[in-house]
Structure 1
Amino acid sequence: MNRTALVTGANRGIGLETCRQLATAGLDVVLCSREPDRGLAAAAGLAGLRGRVRVEQLDVESAESVLACAGRLAADGVRVDVLVNNAAVYPTTGFFAADEDLLEHTWQVNLVGAFRTCQAFVPGMAERGWGRVVNVSSGGGSLDAGLPGPPLYGITKAALNALTVTLASTVPASVKVNAVCPGWVRTDMGGAGAPLSVAQGADTVVWLAQLPESGPTGGFFRGRKPIPW
Structure 2
Amino acid sequence: MIIMKTKIIPLALTAAALALPGQAMAQAGEVHFKVLGTLVAPDGKIKDVKVDRIGLPAGTQTKANDNFVPTVAIEYFLADSLSVETIAGVTEHDVDGRGALAGAGLVSNAKIVPATVTLKYHFGKPGGIRPYIGAGPSYFIFINEKPGATTRALGATSQKINDTVGAALQAGIDIPVNDKGLFVSADVKRYFLRPLASWRANGVEVLRTRHELDPWVISAGIGFRF
Does TM, normalized by the shorter one, top 0.5? no
More strand by share: 2
Q: Which has the higher contact order (CA 8 A, sep 6+)?
A: 2
TM interval, shorter chain, is: under 0.3
Q: How high is the TM-score relative to the length of structure 1?
A: 0.21
Q: How high is the TM-score relative to the length of structure 2?
A: 0.21
More helix by share: 1
